[in-house]
Chain A
Amino acid sequence: MQTNEVWVYIEQNNGKIAEVSLELLGKATVLAEKLQGNVSAVLPGSNVKSLTKTLFTYGADKVYLVDQHILKDYTTLPYAKVVVDLIKTYQPQIVLYGATTTGRDLAPRIASELRVGLTADCTNLQIGDYTFKEKDYQDILYQIRPAFGGNIIATIVSPEHRPQMATVREGVMKMNPPDASREGEVIEYQAEIPTELLITEIVKKFQQEKTVNLKGANIIVSGGVGVGSKENFKLIHALAHVLGGEVGGSRAAVDAGFIGKEHQVGQTGTTVRPKLYMAIGISGQIQHMAGMNQASRIVAINSDPHAPIFQIAHYGIVGDLHEVVPKFIEVFKSLKK
């Protein structure tokens, strides 16, 4: 029997839960309310039982816990088997995954095996009705995502198949405020994982804590391809430093090698909502603008007065950034005294 459960696949690495998974519990709470269902977390791993408390704190009503030594490291086939078995057994309405390198490896594999729909990189999820070929479907998951390089927003539905599944990038959904008094039910599940699925060996894993925190930054100073070179990008770093902000970059600047990928702002990088966003030498590709237009204040500096970025900026300065940025720093320093 199909339930009204909204599931969130919980990604954890050595016992640390990925932020996106907690964010998805927040969204799942909203969706479950609409469906009058509950929020369930799916937690595969080894030695992860202690994490269930956190999942309740952030909105889970139920946790499907699959705690097996064999699941210590994520590899595709055993994890896909676990989630597929759980879905077949407990029949959720919706399953959400973080659009991480793990979620994007796992979710399509599961969708293919179950022959259900999957929408990648949703930026919004809603519940609504849908009519197709004179048939009415109620309480369908609207899976809303950008496509065509961010130039269109498509609403995708999967009316006839269950579960409805989607991946969502980190930083797009908001976590519930933590409530340590919340409690829930833990369902321990023992998965049968045949040895023929244990065929990927993790030889080495290297992972650094994020050194760049664009998502939480109040001020972001971003440079585009118009900055001209990695050397010139020092100006962007300098301005970010005096303002106490993070350094960002457009995809073009990242592709050109001016700045590392972890600094990339936009739909294909990090979606940001700072108080101040300074876009310097960024012409304004839609996929970039859609990832920063929620900033409270946008200052654009560009030598081209017709650059699209000015259309969404609150303040525009037309000029050569090599001249503008040092002058701006000088004025800021003098006013700060």
Chain B
Amino acid sequence: METSTILIVAALLFSIGLAVVVVKRHAIVVLMGVELMLNAANLNLVAFSQYDPDRLQGQMMTLFVLVVAAAEAAVALAIVLQVYRHFRTVQLDEVNELNN
């Protein structure tokens, strides 16, 4: 069954994204993990949306998730850039004070 294959791939992608977010120490790689998790959610929505060809609610939701992901990536990378200017590093374990 094709749909259950896609759902299992999405579950695996979500788990890998979660592991990337927790394991990695570089801020940009953590952002990549968040993108992987968003893609897994999109895959679920699209997999169920092909049985709803008249309204396509899942695909509309996916479209808005894409927009929010683009906005999130832009703002997060701007913040990472400021963190790098201030601390001269983007390793998350070493950014450990609010007031320097």
A and B associate in one complex: no
Report which A residues bind B (CB closer than 8 A): none
